Structure 1
Amino acid sequence: MSSRSEAGPAEDLRTKLDHLTLSRKEGLKRLAEAPVRPQPELLSRRQIKALGEAALADYNRGRRKWHANLGPLHTPQMAALHEDLWDIVDSNDQDGDKVKGGIALDAFPGLGKTTAVLAFAKKFHRREIAEAGEYTDDGFERWPVCRVGLTANTGMRDFNRAILEFYGHPGRFRGTAADFGYRALDSVLSSEAKLLIVDDLHFLRWRNRSGVEVSNHFKYIANEFPVTLLMIGVGLKKRGLFDEGEDFEDAIVAQTGRRTTRLGMDPFTVKPEQGRRNWRDMLLAIEQRVVLAGKHPGMIADELSDYLFARSTGHIGSLMTLINRGCQKAVRTGAELLDEELLSTVKNDAAADEARRELELALETGKMTSRPKGRRGKAA
């Protein structure tokens, strides 16, 4: 088992991710360029008992960090989303006289939208740096991706200032909305950014003045900024982002929808056989990553398949929360495995807990199963 002193600069970079903020370019770069976290060695119960006090504390500390960061898992939903994103982003590599199409990722909470987009942003950042280098021809640092987040009170000035905050622009403290806009455009141009991610778009109140201002500003970005605008949110269709509308303000918002491709992400389902296979493949991937002395083949993918589907309702965010917390308890209590008894003591998010009972009844009565053909009856 490697000691901490042997980790070197790569582990130091990974450790800094504890303190990163994705609202600044340095944080996004660290996320994109940090090395893959090494999986802790899987020790038996006897080997764990043989560890000294300091070695045991170090081993468990490594497992805590590992289990808290098991993802991202490359699910079919993420793979399909990435294919669409590559198609759209690469097709936007047009000359400056052409308006670039935008993207709106619109899906329910807990489906891994932001995680999937950040995984794509990492790949895109690395590709652009590998192909074009860390510096532009004019000698500026190249930042292929810019990410900003919105709040319910975000107006055009605040949005532009958020872009300046991302770049650490010295002119981000004072100025009008127009001043900030020109500085934001200059930052994007000088860094040769190609992807602008706007997260939490659902926080914006589209039908008030700020919402119309920012929507209109999105049109300006599509016209003037050489970037693909990627918006992430919940219920964007219901909020009118894609509507034609009847009055003037509706039409302004609809301009954004006309230039935007809507993408989504779905929860796991166990109704068709392929859905059950996808669910099992994901559980197998999780099982391979779990570092518990009592882990055994089928511990998660067979014995806990129905239970985990009911507890998570097919939402990967709820599933990973439950697995993470279960692993932390299994290490802390010395149980060193995951089973229904242990997981029943672990609290999950409120939405999953409220929706689980109906699924539990269907699974318990045999009206539904999460296990594919050939694996049914394998649960303990």
Structure 2
Amino acid sequence: MDLNVTLVLIGVDIPRSGLLRSGYPDPRTGQWVFSPAKTAKSFNPSAVTQTERRFDLVDLAPFDYDSAEGMTAFVQHLAGIEGRLRLLRARPGMLTEGEMPEYLFRRTHGIVGLLKRLIEDGCTEAMESGAEELTPELLSTIQINLGNLDDRDPTAGEIPEVPHNVPVPARKARKKDRNSVFDDRGGSVAGG
């Protein structure tokens, strides 16, 4: 039965969850490959594959910051987020320039969920404080809160490691530009 519908479902450690039979990622295609179905004591030996054949399992690992491609992908992701922020002092490059990408990566280990929490909470703080922009200094005041985790299994990878005490990058001292509108540029002398 083809419903012409695409569903995106999210879960943690699906291959080992028992929802699908065991499988492995094919290094050539990136798709999960499942072992052939074993004949069961069922009247329908293909029944064991009914669930697994309906899905393409996509593994979304954290961003990688060890290669040029990984850094580029992370910065492109930040650019996508940056373009949707509605802070009064938001500017192009706020998340993608200078030390900010590296700082965000160190704070989140490239885990999209932690990045989302940090930026959401940072935006809330930026609006409430009147700063209206995200800076490493402002984000350093935000503790990433994963909420109630009593029902999560840390051994199954359901609770990511949240980095603590990540130092804020040192700001380069920038001399304040002065207004030079009324400076004498050495033009012609009056009356001469």
Classify the TM-score, shorter chain: 0.5 to 0.7
Q: Which residue of 119, 122, 126 maps to 1:326?
A: 122
Query: SS where residue 64 of structure 2 aligns?
Result: coil
Q: Distance in 2 between matches of 1:348 and 1:286?
A: 18
Question: What do residues 292-339 of structure 1 show as CA deviations (whole Å, max 9, x unaligned)?
Answer: 333344321123111111222212222122111111111111112211
Q: Alignment length, in residue pairs? A: 139
Q: Is 1:341 aligned with 2:151?
A: no
Shift of 1:237: 1.3
Q: Distance in 2 between matches of 1:347 and 1:258?
A: 39
Q: Distance in 2 between matches of 1:281 and 1:345?
A: 25
1:314 is matched with 110
The structure, 1 or 2, with the larger RCO (C-alpha pairs under 8 Å, 6+ apart) is 1
2:100 is matched with 304
Q: Is 1:236 aligned with 2:14?
A: yes
For the pair shown, the structure with the greater C-alpha radius of gyration is: 2
Q: Distance in 2 between matches of 1:248 and 1:231?
A: 31
Shift of 1:245: 6.1
Q: How does the TM-score come out when normalised to structure 1? A: 0.31
| Unaligned runs of at least 5 residues, structure 2 | 23-36, 147-158, 173-192
Indicate how the Cα distance of structure 1 residues 258 and 325 shifts in structure 2: closer, same or farther if over 3 A, else same: closer
2:163 is matched with 356
Indicate how the Cα distance of structure 1 residues 266 and 248 shifts in structure 2: closer, same or farther if over 3 A, else same: farther
Q: Distance in 1 between matches of 2:17 and 2:77?
A: 33
Contact 2:75 2:101 in 1 (8 A): yes
- Please report the RMSD computed on the Cα atoms of aligned residues, expressed in angstroms: 3.4
Question: What do residues 274-302 of structure 1 show as CA deviations (whole Å, max 9, x unaligned)?
Answer: 11111111222222332333334432112
Q: Distance in 2 between matches of 1:231 and 1:289?
A: 24
Contact 2:88 2:133 in 1 (8 A): yes
Q: How does the TM-score come out when normalised to structure 2? A: 0.56
Question: What do residues 168-190 of structure 1 show as CA deviations (whole Å, max 9, x unaligned)?
Answer: xxxxxxxxxxxxxxxxxxxxxxx
Q: Distance in 2 between matches of 1:253 and 1:311?
A: 45
Indicate how the Cα distance of structure 1 residues 321 and 263 shifts in structure 2: closer, same or farther if over 3 A, else same: same
Shift of 1:357: 5.2
Shift of 1:349: 3.4
Q: Distance in 1 between matches of 2:88 and 2:81?
A: 15
Contact 1:242 1:256 in 2 (8 A): no
Q: Which residue of 256, 268, 276 maps to 2:50?
A: 256
Contact 2:144 2:162 in 1 (8 A): no
1:195 is matched with 5
Q: Is 1:283 aligned with 2:78?
A: yes
Q: Distance in 1 between matches of 2:81 and 2:100?
A: 12
Q: Distance in 2 between matches of 1:248 and 1:349?
A: 48
Q: Distance in 2 between matches of 1:294 and 1:234?
A: 37
2:69 is matched with 274
Indicate how the Cα distance of structure 1 residues 341 and 261 shifts in structure 2: closer, same or farther if over 3 A, else same: same
Q: Distance in 1 between matches of 2:140 and 2:64?
A: 22
| Unaligned runs of at least 5 residues, structure 1 | 1-98, 101-192, 198-229, 365-378
Indicate how the Cα distance of structure 1 residues 239 and 330 shifts in structure 2: closer, same or farther if over 3 A, else same: closer
More helix by share: 1
Q: Distance in 2 between matches of 1:297 and 1:258?
A: 43
Q: Distance in 1 between matches of 2:6 and 2:77?
A: 30
Q: Distance in 1 between matches of 2:14 and 2:47?
A: 12
